[in-house]
Amino acid sequence: MEHSKDAVADRLTAEVVAKVAHAPSPRVRETLQALVRHLHAFVRDVQPTESEWAAAIDFLTRTGQICTDRRQEFILLSDTLGVSMLVDQINHGRGGATTETTVLGPFYVASPPDIPAGGDIAKGLPGEALFVEGVVSSEGGAPLADAVVDVWQSDDQGRYDLQFDDPSVFFLRGRLRTDDKGRFSFWSIMPQSYPIPTDGPVGALLASAGRHAYRPAHVHFRIAAPGHHDLVTHVFVRGDKYLDSDVVFGVKESLIADFERRDRTVPLAGAPIDRPHRYLRYDFAVARAAGDALAAG
């Protein structure tokens, strides 16, 4: 009889897979079976010592313990291991005429302050003035009125408000709505490239892999329109030195845009701008939700 260590381990894996084979939900069943198979394969591959496995559990414990309302270390872990972009690719990688997507990241706030058309999300913060405008359309071309456009970004030092421990610190984010021609516009300052937070377990993991922690400068967008799928993406600043090595693998070529230096802009709506500023025009196309053709009738 074969009683090698491998045979015993294989029987263990099969036994655990069988244990979850009767989960009432087929989706739960296939997910748990895949989890067991892949996790066991990982452990077989790595052959950890017991102290190494204890260190792994300690790492995950600390990753959870550092999370608060303003800090999400598990999203960072998912992002820096490329899992967030893998999930993005699986769910949105079908191509077509819609704007490409990228990670949500750990700094989204669900109900940012309302900003009027042409309003300023920088509210006096230092930095190079930036005017952003664009049009939100349905795939195929029709502009979408009253779409919700949430924007958020880093300050001129590459920091987000949520990285300040003081909960009253709140800046560089807002919620706009498109007008009857699908247009939106706002003032801000130039975002800067930034390191993701490195003072927790994920920072230590990056350091142990010899990786830098930087993201290229970008403005985040989350767009919601009735009858359409929510769009989560960023627009990256062309020329940024980290475009080719984003720590979260989030850059797609179609999301890199010129933030032009200008002295004068005639916006899509409103009065001409006659002072030095950076200018970003970026139009978004969002995907119709399945069944909308019927529902909209």
Residue 9: beta bridge partners?
A: none
Residue 280: beta bridge partners?
A: 132
Cα angle 2-41-21, degrees, rounded to a multiple of 5: 85
Q: Which residue is nearest to Fe ion (CB)?
A: 105
The burial of 62, by beta-carbon neighbours within 10 Å (0-12 exposed, 13-18 middle, 19 or more buried), is given as middle
Pairing of strands 173-177, 129-138: unpaired
- Provide, rounded to whole angstroms, the least separation between the CB of residue 160 and Fe ion: 7
- Kindly tell me which of 105 and 174 has the beta carbon lying closer to Fe ion: 105
Rounded CA-CA distance 231/223 in Å is 5
- Provide, rounded to whole angstroms, the least separation between the CB of residue 195 and Fe ion: 11
Largest CA distance in the chain: 86
- Provide, rounded to whole angstroms, the least separation between the CB of residue 152 and Fe ion: 7
- Provide, rounded to whole angstroms, the least separation between the CB of residue 271 and Fe ion: 31
Binding site for Fe ion (CB under 5 A): 105
- Provide, rounded to whole angstroms, the least separation between the CB of residue 253 and Fe ion: 18
- Kindly tell me which of 183 and 220 has the beta carbon lying closer to Fe ion: 220
- Kindly tell me which of 105 and 201 has the beta carbon lying closer to Fe ion: 105
Q: φ, ψ for residue 215 (rounded to 5)?
A: -115, 140
- Provide, rounded to whole angstroms, the least separation between the CB of residue 218 and Fe ion: 6
Closest CA relative to residue 182, chosen from 130, 228, 129? 228
- Kindly tell me which of 105 and 112 has the beta carbon lying closer to Fe ion: 105
Rounded CA-CA distance 80/107 in Å is 15
- Kindly tell me which of 105 and 197 has the beta carbon lying closer to Fe ion: 105
- Kindly tell me which of 179 and 230 has the beta carbon lying closer to Fe ion: 230
25: left (phi over 0), alpha (psi -120 to 50) or beta: beta
